[in-house]
Structure 1
Amino acid sequence: MGQSEMSEAALSVSVRNLGGIDESTVRLRTGVNVLSGRNATNRTSLLRALMGALGSDGVSLKADRDAGEVTLQTPDGTYSRQLERRNGRVHTSGEPYLDDPTLADLFAFLLESNEARQAVSRGDDLRELIMRPVDVEAINEAIEETHAEKRRLDERIKKLSGLESELPELEAEKSELDTEIADIEAEIDEKRAEIDAMDGTVEATRAEQEALDELQTVQTELEETRFQRETERESIETLREQRAEIEAELDELPEPSTDERERIDRQLEECRQRRSELDSTTSQLQSVIQFNEEMLNGTPPAIAEALRDGESTETVTDQLLTDSESVVCWTCGSDIEQGEIESTLDRLRSLRQEMLSERRGLGEEIDELTERQRDLEAASDTRSSLQDRLHRTDEELDDRTDRVEALSAELEELRERATELEAEIEDHEQAADSTVLEHHTEINQLEFELGRLENDRERIDSRIDEIEATLDEREALEAEREELQERLAELRTQVDKLESEAVEAFNTHIDRVVEILDYDNIERIWIERTTEQVTEGRRTVEQSAFRLHIVRRTEEGRSYEDTIGHLSESEREVTGLVFALAGYLVHEVHEVVPFMLLDSLEAIDSDRIAALVEYLDDYVETIVVALLPEDAQALDDDYHRVTDI
């Protein structure tokens, strides 16, 4: 969709019983939308409701209602979120725009409590924020899996290369067999020619010939049976080796521990229950914090009147002009200083951050316990599989042992029959001219040897064909290994690439914004990507760190480096916003959610707000910004404006 087309696209947000809104429908457009109004006019409530429709959990139910909802209508579809209070807890449902709001919460929903803005203001670790949406652990797992697959291919290719070295020996052996076979065939032809040339009166008797034929058959059976027995014995030896390997694998497996599995199950249940409690508490804290933030923006006169139970003698005009440094307490109706509420809010925010930190820790612990649980289950499955293989191997060993015994008995019978036939033939030779019989016997022996040699040659031919076919596979494996090497290089540089892009994007945008906003004494704000040593378990490893640098310029034109703590509130706000924008661009959040929401910009003067919004408009499809009327006046008149919520 082009920019001109986007500016015509209509959007609608309908809200009921969320934040401070009873019921309202607001029309928006793609492009820049300005929510113009004084404090306590539900602008923040509308933004939070819109966040809810987009998928964030930063929306809260109205304190005196048990159900609320928000619906966002766009040209691409309708998205909704329902909130319902049940048993003291708020449950959400519906079909919001996002399934996972992580990126948007960090870099698109830039309200006052936005974590990216607050992190810059406090001088927190910026790398952790930028890299949080990146599943580094998944990248490391992918690296390990790819490396393991490459090792498997390397071993296979190495084995194939070893097979190639067999070919010359096999070809030489085949050539020798061909020579022997040719020699035996020539000798057989010679013997047969000699028999044909002999006087026919000297011939073997029928009984002698039958004995010769049977002896040849018995000798063939002897060779085949002997070969079968040797094959079975080799199989038995292989099975015994396999059995030893299986037993070794079983010995290496940890002993199954029912107690450990029960302990992990119990810990998982406790962690999940605690996380659920934290979810409930942090949700309630967020509602309290949001409500008090809205009260700090100014208590509407009608609400203040009701809280004072009608005892106030001030006129409505007096109440409107009441000192903004005090507000009406929503619990007791008395006037209290804003500072007291702000101090309490700071403590509540800190408590919520502590709980969120504990929740993240619980998430990591749950992941570790789940991983250990999977490991135990995998070990149990592996043990069962190995035990099944061991049982099948034992059964096959028994079958083949019985087969060897049967073949040995058969060999003994064949040897006895061969001995009988040889004796019978010898008797015939003594009783007659043995010349023809000798020739027949020699031919039988030669044919037997010829058959053996031809079997050997056939075996070698088969092995050569097998190796040549396997070597054809090597080329495909080498191509696959090359792809894996490229994949490994890509994975290993992915995190570095993201970090470099993040730093480059931030520095590019902050340079431009500093130039546009023209702060007199700020020459440059930039991030340096460095490394630092951190402890991971028992190891000390190097990890990237993002250092924020501020370069100031004196009236005399001299430059010097300063810290974030020395920036003015306005300068910190702009730096935080541009940092969030860098995250928006680096992580391509516009492809995830085409919205950016802005609030609490009072620390920035109106002209700079206008310049900043104009700058953001080049990168974000739809911007919704809440401003005071005097700040809104500085923005382009072509921007869509909302003055009534």
Structure 2
Amino acid sequence: MGTSQHTQEQSPPKQATLSVSNIGGIDETEVAFEQGVTVLSGRNATNRTSLLQGIMAALGSDQASLKADSKEGQAVLEFGEETYQQTLHRRNGTSVTEGDPYLDDPEIADLFAFLLESNEARQAVARGDDLRDLIMRPVDTDAIKAEIQQLEQRKNQIDNELDELDNLENQLPDLEAKRTRLIDEIEELHDELETAEEELEAANTDVETRREEQSELDEKLNELRDTRSELERVRNRIETERESIEALENEHEDVEADLEELQAGGEANLGRLEAEIETLQTEKNELNEEISQLQRTIQFNEQLLEDPGEFLGGEADNNDGPVTDQLLSDADSGTVTCWTCGSSVATDQIETTIEQLQSVYEDRLNERSEINDDLEEKRATLNEIEENRSEYQRANRRLESIDEEIERRRDRVEDLTDDREAFTEEITELETEIDDLETDDSEDILEQHREVNQLEFEIERKESERDDVEDKIASIEERLDDREGLQDRREKTTEELADLRTRIDQIEDSAVEEFNEHMESLLEILEYSNLERIWIDQTTRDVREGRRKVTKSSFDLKIVRSTEGRTAYEDSINHLSESEREVTGLVFALAGYLVHDVYETVPFMLLDSLEAIDSERIATVVEYFESYAPYLTVALLDEDAQALEDRHKMITEI
């Protein structure tokens, strides 16, 4: 058996074979199809619609009806090397389905490919409903919004990194100027050191006499220089640690401020919102089930009116006997015998019941639309609360990390302070020892030694500072090398965001464009006498969702007729003829079929209940639709099928 959701990466198989048992009015049948148009030709009550329901069932739809006197029915589709099947069972008065059909989710096919009389797209046009909500139903707007939110976060992160690189780049001129200044200062100090060493060498004429004394003195002076160098390093490290502590404390204040804002984020409402969403989803699921049951009930009663004999185990013209005769007699006299209790029921009473069921069906559709809007709003609020909660947790973790880092650096400052005091005491002791070693004769030489030592220390400090500056410059330049990649990522993310933000608008625009283009082409071919144009006008309107006012798109069907004098005037959907209205509904379904690429998901399109259109125009519509659906199956009366019999495959026996 094959898997169930398909995308036609290659052409679909050239042939298909369908086996149907106990669906609609069919006991059992098998029919072969080829790509292109297949016409089911026959009189009323010859199971043409039932065969279409069999195709729908095998493809995955739950809109097929089980034969009235059967507890189980089945549809099997052999399609290429794969086989797909769905079984219908009657349980507790309701028909349920199971199996491995062609589609996992038949919603989009039910809307735009299975165009029977009860098809929702055709009915929406006939009733004058807002067509925008129906054409956009297959679009997962929640997923699009979630993806937009993720991309916005990614773009913000990239923007922050680019801003940081800009700040680093702005630091480069000052750092480079500082490096140049340090290099110049180091060169000057080297010159001074060279002069001081020359003066010391010239003054040190009695080296042999004072060798021991000088040696000890030099040792102490070297030790003094090293100790002062260590002291300076400790002081610099203390200063650096204090600057880091100050920066961390500033960041600590910023994170605490963020936490105060996030604490007002509605955490307490999270559980309530989740419960409300679960309740609304349950209500929606119940409504979906009720809508499906209503649709099947309406379809069942319509078939009962069309062909009462079908519900006594077969077709009226193929059965003999008093029961069938009585049923046909009742139908001719304006009554129908109830298949459950045997009593006679007036056909107009059944028609009234159908109208009442249709009204309830429309009410349930409106209720589902309202629940969908409420679900969308609550899910958006829930996402916002959960995002605030994540931000709050991240801020708390950062706060803890900052506190730990501050504590570590304070401990380091305390240790460094102890080191500084120890070095200061050591320097004092060394200076005392050096003073004891100094004599009047050596005072000048000692002073020159001090000067040399001080210059060497200063050079070392400047070179260390220069190295730090060069490391910072190298680090910044390395970071700046990432800028081009970041800018490319930002550009790609911005493009993805723009595409997502306009995707819904693009689908709406495409639907309007497809409808208007095909409607114009068909009206030109069909030549309705005074019907100039039918098109969808895309407008916007403000609606209230909960406490918010939002702007929503709306599809308004516009109609222009002309008088005998060719004066144009605007008309309404209510004034269209039944033929014009049916054609308009079919074109709207075709627009949805093309906009949502339904042909890539399911290669079948089904047409039924075209009797309101005359034979020549039916042939024109079929030929027009043929180019868009790999398999187009049409149920027609014999007289309507004659216009197509020379060009397409005909099936007359089911």
Asked if these proteins are the same fold (TM beyond 0.5), I'd say yes
2:134 corresponds to: 129
Match of 2:560 in 1: 551
The answer for the alignment partner of 2:436 in structure 1 is 427
Q: Which amino acid aligns with 2:85?
A: S
Q: CA 1:40/1:471 → structure 2, altered by over 3 Å: closer, same or farther? A: same
**Amino acid in structure 2 at the alignment position of 1:105:** D
2:82 and 2:423 mapped to 1: Cα distance?
Answer: 87
Shift of 1:259: 6.2
- Counterpart CA distance in 2 for 1:87 and 1:226 is 88
Match of residue 328 from structure 2 = 319
1: CA distance, partners of 2:543 / 2:111: 25
Q: Which runs of 5+ in 1 are unaligned?
A: none
Alpha-carbon separation, structure 1, partners of 2:559 and 2:372? 36
- Work out which of the residue numbers 231, 245, 250 in structure 1 matches 2:240: 231
For residue 161 of structure 1, report the CA deviation from its aligned partner: 2.9
Please tell me whether residue 584 in structure 1 is matched to residue 589 in structure 2: no
Counterpart in 1 of 2:4? Answer: none
> CA 1:369 to 1:503, structure 2 compared with 1: closer, same or farther past 3 Å?
closer
Question: Which residue of structure 1 lines up, in the alignment, with residue 6 of structure 2?
Answer: none
Assess if the C-alpha contact under 8 Å between 2:53 and 2:64 holds in 1: yes
2:488 to 479, 484, 500: 479
CA apart distance, 1:85: 4.5
In 2, Cα distance between the equivalents of 1:375 and 1:493? 22
Following superposition, the deviation at residue 24 of structure 1 comes to: 2.7
Question: Does the CA contact (< 8 Å) of 1:61 and 1:287 recur in 2?
Answer: no
Q: Which amino acid aligns with 1:577?
A: L
1:90–1:362 Cα change, 3 Å? farther
RMSD across aligned positions (CA): 3.3
Q: Distance in 2 between matches of 1:7 and 1:479?
A: 40
After superposition, the Cα gap between the structure-2 partners of 1:369 and 1:494, relative to the gap in structure 1 and judged at 3 Å, is closer
1:29 corresponding residue in structure 2: 34
Note if 1:212 corresponds to 2:217: no
SS of residue in 1 equivalent to 2:650: strand
Matches within 5 A, 1:352-371: 352-371=361-380
> Which of 325, 329, 340 pairs up with 1:331?
340
CA apart distance, 1:559: 3.3
Give deviations 1:8-43, integer Å, cap 9, x for gaps: 922111223333334332222211111222333332
Aligned CA distance change for structure 1 residues 550 and 265 (closer, same or farther; 3 Å): closer
TM-score, structure 1 normalization: 0.89
1:512 maps to which of 517, 521, 525:
521
Identity %: 48
- 1:416 deviates by 0.6
Give the whole-Å Cα distance in 2 for the aligned partners of 1:480 and 1:258.
34
Q: What's the CA shift for 1:87?
A: 5.6
Select 2:305's aligned residue among 296, 311, 328: 296
Q: Which amino acid aligns with 2:199?
A: E
Question: 1:48-127 maps to which residues of 2 (within 5 A)?
Answer: 48-75=53-80, 77-86=82-91, 90-127=95-132
Distance in 1 (alpha carbons) for counterparts of 2:509 and 2:266: 46
User: Counterpart of 1:623 in structure 2: which amino acid?
Assistant: L
Give 1:510 shift. Answer: 1.6
Q: State whether residues 304 and 333 of structure 1, in contact with CA within 8 Å, keep that contact through their aligned partners in structure 2.
A: no
Give the Å deviation of 1:160: 2.5
1:90–1:380 Cα change, 3 Å: farther
Is residue 160–residue 470 contact of structure 1 (8 Å, CA) maintained in 2? yes
Output the amino acid matched with 2:261: E
1:162 is aligned to 167
Q: 1:11 aligns with which of 16, 28, 35?
A: 16
From 275, 279, 283, give the equivalent of 1:270: 279
How much does 1:541 deviate?
4.9
2:255 to 228, 235, 246: 246
Secondary structure of 1:300 counterpart: helix
In 1, are the aligned partners of 2:533 and 2:560 still within 8 Å (CA)? yes
How far residue 65 of structure 1 moved from its aligned partner, in angstroms, is: 4.1
2:537 maps to 528
Structure 2 stretches lacking a partner, 5+ long? 1-9
Deviation, structure 1 residue 362 = 3.3
Indicate how the Cα distance of structure 1 residues 326 and 396 shifts in structure 2: closer, same or farther if over 3 A, else same. same
Aligned pairs (5 A) from 1:339-488: 339-430=348-439, 432-488=441-497
Distance 1:554 1:217, change over 3 A: same
Contact 2:312 2:324 in 1 (8 A): no
| Cα offsets for 1:312-338 (capped at 9, x unmatched) | 968849937952854322233233332
Whether 2:570 is the aligned partner of 1:570: answer: no
Q: Which region of structure 1 is more displaced relative to structure 2, 120-129 or 592-601? A: 120-129
Secondary structure of 1:519 counterpart: coil
2: distance between equivalents of 1:302 and 1:184?
112
- CA drift of 1:233 comes to 1.8
Give the whole-Å Cα distance in 1 for the aligned partners of 2:619 and 2:325.
33
Amino acid at match of 2:433: E
1:272-320 CA-to-partner distances (Å, cap 9, x unmatched) read: 443343344333323322221221111117829999xx99968849937
Matched residue of 1:523: which SS? strand
Q: Distance in 2 between matches of 1:599 and 1:306?
A: 19
- For these two proteins, the number of residue pairs brought into alignment is 639
Which residue does 2:3 correspond to in 1? none
CA contact under 8 A between 1:146 and 1:488: conserved in structure 2? yes
Report if aligned partners of 1:21, 1:45 keep a CA contact under 8 Å in 2: yes
Task: After superposing the two structures, state which structure 1 stretch, 372-381 or 41-50, moved more.
Answer: 372-381
User: 1:508 deviation in Å?
Assistant: 2.1
Structure 2 CA distance for aligned equivalents of residues 388 and 7 of structure 1: 56
In structure 2, distance between residues paired with 1:270 and 1:488: 33
Whether the 8 Å CA contact 1:298–1:327 is kept in 2: the answer is: no
> Which residue matches 1:174?
179
1:137, distance to aligned residue in structure 2 (A): 5.1
Partners of 1:502 and 1:586 within 8 A in 2: yes
- Counterpart of 1:612 in structure 2: which amino acid? V
Partners of 2:327 and 2:337 within 8 A in 1 = no
Q: Does 1:618 align with 2:635?
A: no
Is contact 1:7–1:29 with CA below 8 Å preserved after alignment?
Answer: no
Whole-Å separation in 2 of the counterparts to 1:6 and 1:399: 68
Q: The residue matched to 1:94 in structure 2 has which SS?
A: strand
Measure how far apart 1:262 and its partner are. Answer: 4.1
Distance of aligned partners of 1:318 and 1:380 in 2 relative to their CA distance in 1, 3 Å threshold: closer
Secondary structure in 2 aligned to 1:16? strand
Instruction: Assess if the C-alpha contact under 8 Å between 2:262 and 2:389 holds in 1.
Output: no
Q: Cα gap change, 1:347/1:255 in structure 2, threshold over 3 Å: closer, same or farther?
A: same
- Write the letter of the residue equivalent to 1:183: E
Please state how far the C-alpha of 1:536 moved relative to its aligned partner. 4.4
* TM-score calculated relative to the size of structure 2: 0.88
Equivalent residue in structure 2 for 1:40, among 42, 45, 49: 45
Say if 1:89 and 1:280, in contact at 8 Å, map to a contact too: no
> Structure 1, residues 611-645: CA drift from partner, whole Å, max 9, x if none?
21111112211111111222222213242222233
Aligned counterparts of 1:43 and 1:181: Cα–Cα separation in 2: 100
Shift of 1:143: 4.8
Q: How far 1:110 sits from its partner (Å)? A: 0.6
Change (3 A) 1:284 1:141: closer
